[in-house]
Amino acid sequence: MKLVEGKKALIFGLANNRSIAWGIAQALHEHGAELGFSYGIPQLERRVKPLAEQLGVGFVEMCDVTKDADIDAVFAKAADHFGQIDILVHSVAFAKQEDLSGRFVDTSRDGFAMAMDISAYSLVAMAQRARPLMANGGSIMSLTYYGSEKVMPHYNVMGVAKAALEASTRYLAADLGPEGIRVNAISAGPIKTLAAAGIAGFRKMLAYAESKNPLRRNVDQDEVGRTALWLASDLSSGVTGEVIYVDAGYHILGMPDAVGEE
Ligand code: NAD
């Protein structure tokens, strides 16, 4: 049974075949959705176009989410191309390299504002434009990380931006719920991607999580993709405003290191 047959999905944040957005795109495609892709900078076109061809995706547009004009343009083109959309995937985040190492206390005003703008406000900006295209209801989702709730080494300003993203998810869910639009976030465990490579010590995080996670392994893009598929489909029709963890169980641990064992 195909879970999103005939539904139309706009996916932001595809950079390459390691992107979480690519795992989501493949899962939605496999289950019958018609897709549109958006990428953040011109240099990514040569990576994103072949991925689009692989899935027969005809809608591929650049959009810098710091620019309202870019967001307006991509949604106007999506309206022309798709008419209505059913699914919006926000898989976009950015913070300056120097803010993803060292101490949070040293974050600059500029670095703070940039991380918040690209990684949190952009969800609100997209939801504003998606709303008129979701007259029949829809599912909006974004990607977050547990560093929003607990202090993680070097995650710093991105943890603050993810906290804003998760709070925005709840406020958007309340505003858009009466229109049949659901808004959720997926909190993924660490996965090796371009964005993750910017976090100092990321490889050590991966190894640590693998050894402590209740499932004793890390998650991958496909597992996040299948949860996104569930959120996009009617199987999750009663779920909104939630943060869904796809982290091999890491967030349930109060004390990851075993102590008191003889
Ligand atoms: P990725 O590098 O593949 O994706 C990040 C995307 O953000 C890229 O496509 C990049 O072009 C885009 N982006 C950055 N600035 C932009 C801008 N100004 N305008 C438009 N797009 C812009 O890495 P990813 O890990 O797949 O990240 C996707 C999402 O998943 C992010 O929100 C990230 O925080 C989240 N996430 C990642 C992990 C992980 O460990 N990889 C874990 C939890 C959550």
Q: What is the mean pLDDT of residues 62-68?
A: 98
Residue 137 CA to ligand 1 center (angstroms) comes to 26
Render pLDDT for 69-104 as a digit per residue (tens, 0 to 9).
999 999 999 999 999 999 999 999 999 999 999 999
Tokens matching residue 93:
């985040």
Atom number in ligand 1 closest to CA 90: 32
Render pLDDT for 201-231 as a digit per residue (tens, 0 to 9).
999 999 999 999 999 999 999 999 999 999 9
pLDDT at 257 over 90: no
Question: Which residue, by CA, sits nearest to atom 15 of ligand 1?
Answer: 94
Residue 18 CA to ligand 1 center (angstroms) comes to 10
Atom number in ligand 1 closest to CA 21: 26
Which residues are known to be catalytic? 145, 155
Domains along the sequence of the chain with CATH: 8-249 (3.40.50.720)
Confidence of residue 258 (pLDDT cuts 50, 70, 90): confident
Contacts of 63 by beta carbon, 8 Å cutoff, 6+ apart: 12, 38, 39, 40, 70, 71, 73, 74
pLDDT of residue 262: 57
Question: Which residue, by CA, sits nearest to atom 20 of ligand 1?
Answer: 40
Atom number in ligand 1 closest to CA 188: 43
Contacts of 217 by beta carbon, 8 Å cutoff, 6+ apart: 210, 248
Contacts of 240 by beta carbon, 8 Å cutoff, 6+ apart: 173, 177, 182, 183, 184
Question: Which residue, by CA, sits nearest to atom 16 of ligand 1?
Answer: 40
Q: Tell me the residue length of the chain.
A: 262
- The arrangement of strands across the sheet holding 34-39 comes to 59-62, 34-39, 8-12, 87-90, 138-144, 181-188, 243-246
Query: Full-prediction pTM beyond 0.85?
Result: yes
Assess whether the C-beta atom of 71 lies below 6 angstroms from ligand 1.
no
Contacts of 209 by beta carbon, 8 Å cutoff, 6+ apart: 189, 190, 218, 247, 248, 250
